[in-house]
Structure 1
């Protein structure tokens, strides 16, 4: 079967390699599994149900829910009747949800739980769109009603409708997370998604029909959604779990692969590093030695006999235990959405887990480039090589331009913004980067660069990523637009600060008090000075202010993709920022 539409992926799996665990999810203490034939039968009934309720070609249907089997079933059922899904992050505000629902003119909405229902119900306001739930909520219609309504539908008619869907038809509208302003609805066609799935298959070359994948990043984002369709295309069993269930899910599923954002891997690293505090004596020294060895590992390096012996010993004593904690069979991890600290990539490669850091955006469905699962060709600190069938070039001002079948149809109801973004067939990403020897490196966001009063440009993201390599720094935002120098707001990694305080004989009271402690402040300042040497003198961070709590999505300081919402943070930390520039360093 030729892959042209997103739903073709499921039918190819049915023909070539049907699985008993096509889609699986934990329900209570048990894992519920749907086979490939069961998935096909269910989505056909749901499609019939939609048609009987008047949902048809071009109609928009919203989904606000955590990852689940039902999420994908509804998505597939909508696709094969030509309807358009509109995913909404469960973490968005009511105001943002209301804008999306009204802007997209949704005719129906699905939610995953009571709190999501409350948010969508309030966001809909006077709109009469019905709401269905994936879980049992008193007084709320169940999605099962739609499936039951479609029982006994005309499958011949449905097959004809399915066959009439064209590859260039829009199948989803995804509203971007909006770090700089109002969200835009990115229209993606079947061809966009299928081209990404095909490119990922050619790029990763993972085994077909033998793997299990864990899915925990939100399906509302095209990164995870494209990943799930890739898993389905490679006949990989997909297991859904929440981030809070990650540790137990890895033990139970024993995944071979998953996709992650850097924040997830940072928490994993913190957990591994924190293990050292539970040990004493020679065991602690061995553990710290192995951790340091892993954090400095270079997969490209040719190792001598002594280095190989050290690595083998560390693997036997320590790294093997790390792999066991992750299920014992994990081998491939895709990372995207933000820059990954090089020490985390090195740690996983040292432990025998291959990491492919990638780069993309919703407008490109989403993958533009990615590292290869090849130790000889991986370039830690870069975002790899452009994906097959995706052209990348660098404009004169350093902006990354992209052209290919993965580039969006356009922004919904925004022809002017579409024309400003796609010029002569090239999508202007807004990111600054360099392409050397076919390897792409991101240096900053074009719109986030700022100029000091001395006329020097500062690219904050590249400085922030470097500073986060410190074991004591959790989050960073570099500031200084129009000022004489760059400064930074820093959220310390308080778990490591607590460990350091214990070693220094300093009584740890609370995060807020430790952020004001002169010795802790001096520690962070020393770390910043240590990393300043990697930058030009005009880029040096001259002053820092410590923030006593991590920035988060719920507070609106991070986008759902975990990127900094700089304007929000700057507004809330305005007093701290003002003090950073009151008395400038000599």
Structure 2
């Protein structure tokens, strides 16, 4: 199937249903949803939102930590031809009010009562914000529980209607508004279409190769376009997903045991600091053993990057005695990670490659949906210290003043309600 919209990517996932496909981990345990139940709830939510009067051209604000409901709301809104406006839970009421009014959001789906209190505080100054929906916990008067909205739309026909509506969504339809903070002034709403995200997912999937056997961890905020694009890529490839808060990932890695995750460099730096701190406090013999094993890993990883055998008996012994133990602290099953958002220090990437975990460093912008360039998992497709080659459908050039210029189908439609700002960044 040739994917045109994000809903086409989701359809790929539903064609190979599983009993446990979406996991939500907290420090208290986890819950799992089957593909069938996730689709049923998403379809019910779309119908429930439609009954409430939400439809094509509307905007729905979304404030929640990573969890299956994030994607339910996202998919339900875009199925109706609406666009969603994901925002961070750290925003103040005043910041929320600006983005509600600027985007013209008529509904907000919020995780809990603490976050909902911010929306109730600003409701008087945002008259278009007519629908408040809460995912968990007791609701204040005028706020509907998410499950109530889902149940109001669930029927024997809701899934068929979901796919019928999906067939009418167009590639050029606005998918989302993502607000980015500038150095001065109010944040700008980056307007991304279905085509933008789909045309970023497809070539990125050629570099970050995953399949239904993988178990990904989504902990970077889904309101950031980096994790969001990867979430769609996982759907496209039928990957099982585990969601958790970025604040809990260190405690849950050995429980979740992911095969793939994405992060910003700071997380990898923290892992490195923790490992090296333990080594520094270990007895001299153990320090020497670790350093010997790491040296073997450093010799082996260039061969692995080239797709060649990574070493002989010495490397096998180093891996069994030391390096595999370090990987176990990260769950023990990681095939590779992806890094973006800031430059990854070369020594950090070399350390992870030396212990047997690939990090694919890339570069992108919210305005480019986001990937411009990224290293690949295949032999010869990765070069440490770089962000890799440009993805296959993007052209890049460096202007005389050093500015990087990007052209391709994943470049944004523009800044919401800011034609002059849009004109400044387009050539």
Do they superpose with TM above 0.5?
Answer: yes
| 2:401 corresponds to | 397
Q: Does residue 113 in structure 1 map to residue 112 in structure 2? A: yes
Q: Once the two structures are superposed, what CA deviation does each residue of 1:182-211 show, in whole Å capped at 9, x if it has no partner?
A: 2110111111111111111222333x2211
Displacement of 1:180: 4.5
1:43 aligns with 2:42: yes
Pairing partner for 1:151 from 151, 154, 163 = 154
Q: Is the 8 A contact 1:102 1:124 kept in 2?
A: no
- C-alpha displacement of 1:172: 0.6
> 1:261 aligned to 2:261?
no
Q: CA deviation at 1:38?
A: 1.5
Q: 2:362 aligns with which of 333, 353, 358?
A: 358
Partner of 1:384: 388
Measure the CA separation in 1 of the matches of 2:59 and 2:327. Answer: 43
Q: Please give the residue correspondences for 1:6-155 in structure 2 after superposition, counting only pairs within 5 Å.
A: 6-15=6-15, 17-26=16-25, 29-128=28-127, 129=129, 130-139=131-140, 140-152=143-155, 155=158
- Contact persistence 1:295–1:343 (CA under 8 A): no
**What SS class does the counterpart of residue 164 from structure 1 fall into?**
coil
Counterpart residue number, 1:501: none
Q: C-alpha displacement at 1:264, in angstroms?
A: 0.8
Q: Name the CA distance, whole Å, in 2 between partners of 1:11 and 1:53.
A: 25
**Cα distance between partner residues in 1 of 2:27 and 2:267:** 23
- Once the 2 structures are TM-superposed, how far is the Cα of residue 326 of structure 1 from its aligned partner? 1.3
Shift of 1:399: 1.2
Corresponding residue of 1:583: none
Q: Which residue of 1 aligns with 2:346?
A: 342
* Whole-Å separation in 1 of the counterparts to 2:406 and 2:422: 14
Residue number in structure 2 paired with 1:281:
284
Question: 5-14 or 127-136: which moved more?
Answer: 127-136
Distance 2:262 2:54 in 1: 33
Instruction: Report Cα offsets for 1:263-284 as digits up to 9, x if no partner.
Output: 1111111111111244213113
Q: Quick check: 1:215–1:224 contact (8 Å CA) kept in 2?
A: yes
State the partner residue of 2:237.
234
Matches within 5 A, 1:138-537: 138-139=139-140, 140-152=143-155, 155=158, 157-206=161-210, 208-290=211-293, 299=302, 311-374=315-378, 376-423=380-427
Q: For residues 390 and 124 of structure 1, do their structure 2 counterparts lie closer, same or farther at Cα, with a shift above 3 Å needed?
A: farther
Q: Which residue in the other structure is 1:513 paired with?
A: none
**Aligned pair in 2 of structure 1 residues 157, 324: CA closer, same or farther (>3 Å)?**
closer
Q: Check whether the contact 2:41–2:154 (CA below 8 A) recurs between aligned residues.
A: no
- Residue 410 of structure 1: CA displacement? 0.9
- Separation in 2, partners of 1:382, 1:109: 40
Distance 1:111-1:157 versus aligned 2 partners, 3 A rule: closer
Report the secondary structure of 2:177's partner residue. Answer: strand
Q: Contact conserved, 1:101 with 1:124, CA < 8 A, in 2? A: no
Whether the 8 Å contact between 2:294 and 2:354 is mirrored in structure 1 is no
Q: Distance in 2 between matches of 1:313 and 1:393?
A: 46
- How far 1:145 sits from its partner (Å)? 1.7
The answer to whether the 8 Å contact 1:19/1:235 transfers is no
Instruction: Specify whether residues 395 and 2 from structure 1 end up closer, same or farther in structure 2 by C-alpha distance, changes over 3 A only.
Output: same
Q: Quick one: distance in 2 between partners of 1:27 and 1:345? A: 29
SS at match of 1:173: strand
Contact 1:89 1:220 in 2 (8 A): yes
Cα distance change on mapping 1:292 and 1:404 into 2, 3 Å: same
Deviation at 1:287, TM superposition (A): 2.7
Given the superposition, is the C-alpha separation of residues 377 and 161 from structure 1 closer, same or farther in structure 2, using an over 3 Å criterion? closer
- d(CA) in 2 for partners of 1:20, 1:31: 15
CA contact (8 A) 1:21 1:238 kept: no
User: How far off is 1:158 after superposition?
Assistant: 4.4
What is the aligned residue count?
Answer: 420
Residues of 2 paired with 1:314 and 1:72: CA distance?
42
SS in 2 for 1:26: strand
Higher RCO (C-alpha under 8 Å, 6+ residues apart): 2
Aligned to 2:363, the other structure's residue is in SS state: strand
Q: 2:45–2:150: 8 Å Cα contact kept in structure 1?
A: yes
The 3-state SS of whatever aligns with 2:125 is coil
The answer as to whether partners of 1:22 and 1:36 remain within 8 angstroms in 2 is yes
What is the CA-CA distance between 1:403 and the residue it aligns to?
Answer: 0.9
Q: Aligned in 2, Cα 1:264/1:180: closer, same or farther, shift over 3 Å?
A: farther
TM-superposed CA distance for 1:51, in Å, is 0.7
Q: Distance in 1 between matches of 2:335 and 2:400?
A: 39
1:390: Cα distance to partner?
1.1
CA drift at 1:369: 0.3
Distance (Å, rounded) in 2 between the aligned partners of 1:210 and 1:203: 17
